[in-house]
């Protein structure tokens, strides 16, 4: 079983496509197909179900992915043990929800890629429950979460900063100039939400319901930018991390209600599998994240 074939298999599984895997690996698509076929012939089983341009792991493929991840990490660890003075290189696959991918990670990734140009970073968006699952099975090297603090048996989870949450409204909204807004005052308001599965949305909705508040209507959007634009246009209110709307609040385009967010506070957290081998590239990334997190905490 060739390491090259295992690496190609792992990338195809991660990006769920032969074409995208070929682009990332700088291979011809025919080479990727040939390597996967070689593995399937050697193992005498199908590893992927091909559904048009998208591929999905079979049960056998899911089993192999776990072993392939361990084999490739051991290979990297062996090389690092012999050449310990080498410059960090390779690929880091990072997962994060949209709000952190857009407002916390860009500065870190920009600095990291300047320091370590031989490391390729792949950033995969997702909701927190999905990201934790991908960290557990080894598909992601490290994930960032935005949810209430919690610990799990198989994941190392570090809290980086507590995030203030705000209810935003158009500046002309009647509640925009109110003081000490209470949750029951939000009754019958229209709320613009992120996608289902978002941790802070779930937390906020549970809080509203516990206070006997059932919004007049809810609308779901595919992005935070879309939500902000719709709030500015007067379509409704929204509940978002302050870091995602600070600029618009300062510019007077959006108003943050004078509302106590303590019941719905979440934290930016970093997580990875406790048994994961920390490559030089990953160690340096974790260290850089820690440096930025210190600045985040000083600003809150």
Predicted local confidence at residue 86, as pLDDT: 63
> What average pLDDT does range 67-77 have in this prediction?
85
Q: Containing domain of residue 218, as a range?
A: 165-264
> What average pLDDT does range 266-294 have in this prediction?
94
| Range from 79-88, 167-176, 188-197, 252-261 carrying the lowest mean pLDDT | 79-88
pLDDT tens per residue, range 119-129: 999 999 998 99
> What average pLDDT does range 232-247 have in this prediction?
95
Are residues 195 and 231 both part of a single domain?
A: yes
What the block records as the tokens of 55 is: 């591929």
Q: Tell me, what CATH number does 76's domain have?
A: 1.10.10.10
Q: Tell me, what CATH number does 197's domain have?
A: 3.40.190.10
Predicted local confidence at residue 241, as pLDDT: 95
Predicted local confidence at residue 216, as pLDDT: 61
Band of residue 218 on the pLDDT scale cut at 50, 70, 90: confident
Predicted local confidence at residue 300, as pLDDT: 65
pLDDT tens per residue, range 101-110: 999 999 999 9
Number of domains in the chain: 3
* Mean pLDDT estimate for the chain: 90
Predicted local confidence at residue 54, as pLDDT: 79
Are residues 112 and 184 both part of a single domain?
A: no
Are residues 48 and 137 both part of a single domain?
A: no
Are residues 186 and 237 both part of a single domain?
A: yes
Are residues 227 and 292 both part of a single domain?
A: no
Are residues 157 and 271 both part of a single domain?
A: yes
**Domain end among 84, 107, 134:** 84
pLDDT at 84 over 60: no
> What average pLDDT does range 68-89 have in this prediction?
76
pLDDT tens per residue, range 159-189: 999 999 999 999 999 999 999 999 999 988 8
Q: Over the chain, what HEC string results?
A: CCHHHHHHHHHHHHHCCHHHHHHHHCCCHHHHHHHHHHHHHHHCCCCEEEECCEEEECHHHHHHHHHHHHHHHHHHHHHHHHCCCCCCCEEEEEEECHHHHHHCHHHHHHHHHHHCCCEEEEEEECCHHHHHHHHHCCCCCEEEEEECCCCECCEEEEEEEEECEEEEECCCCCCCCCCCECHHHHCCCEEEECCCCCHHHHHHHHHHHHCCCCCCEEEECCCHHHHHHHHHCCCCEEEEEHHHCHHHHHCCCCEECCECCHHHCEEEEEEEECCCCCCHHHHHHHHHHHHHHHHHHHHC
More confident residue, 80 or 239: 239
**Domain end among 66, 84, 102:** 84
Percent of the chain with pLDDT over 70: 96
Are residues 125 and 273 both part of a single domain?
A: yes
Are residues 135 and 103 both part of a single domain?
A: yes
Are residues 80 and 91 both part of a single domain?
A: no
């Amino acid at each position: 079983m060739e390491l090259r074939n295992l690496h190609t298999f792992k990338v195809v599984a991660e990006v769920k496509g032969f074409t995208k895997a070929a682009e990332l690996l700088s291979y011809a698509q025919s080479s990727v197909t040939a390597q996967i076929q070689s593995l399937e012939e050697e193992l005498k089983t199908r590893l992927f179900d091909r559904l048009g341009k998208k591929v999905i792991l079979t049960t056998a493929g899911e089993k192999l992915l776990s072993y392939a991840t361990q084999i490739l990490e051991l290979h990297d660890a062996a090389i690092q043990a012999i050449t310990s003075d080498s410059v960090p290189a390779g690929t880091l696959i990072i997962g994060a929800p949209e709000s952190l991918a857009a407002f916390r990670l860009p500065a870190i990734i920009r600095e990291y890629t300047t320091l370590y140009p031989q490391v390729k970073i792949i950033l995969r968006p997702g909701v927190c429950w999905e990201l934790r699952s991908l960290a557990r099975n080894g598909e992601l090297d490290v994930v960032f979460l935005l949810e209430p603090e919690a610990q799990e048996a198989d994941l190392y989870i570090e809290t980086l900063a507590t995030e203030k949450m705000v209810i935003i409204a158009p500046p002309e909204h009647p509640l925009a100039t109110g003081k000490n807004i209470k949750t029951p005052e939000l009754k019958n308001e229209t709320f613009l939400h992120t996608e289902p599965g978002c941790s802070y949305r779930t937390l906020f909705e549970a809080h509203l319901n516990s206070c006997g508040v059932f919004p007049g209507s809810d609308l779901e959007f595919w992005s935070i930018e879309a939500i902000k634009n719709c709030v500015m246009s007067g379509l409704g209110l929204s509940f978002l991390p302050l870091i995602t709307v600070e600029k618009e609040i300062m510019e007077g385009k959006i108003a943050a209600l004078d509302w106590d967010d303590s019941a719905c506070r979440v934290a930016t957290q970093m997580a990875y599998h406790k048994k994961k081998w920390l490559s030089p590239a990953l160690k340096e990334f974790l260290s850089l994240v820690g440096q930025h997190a210190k600045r985040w905490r000083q600003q809150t």
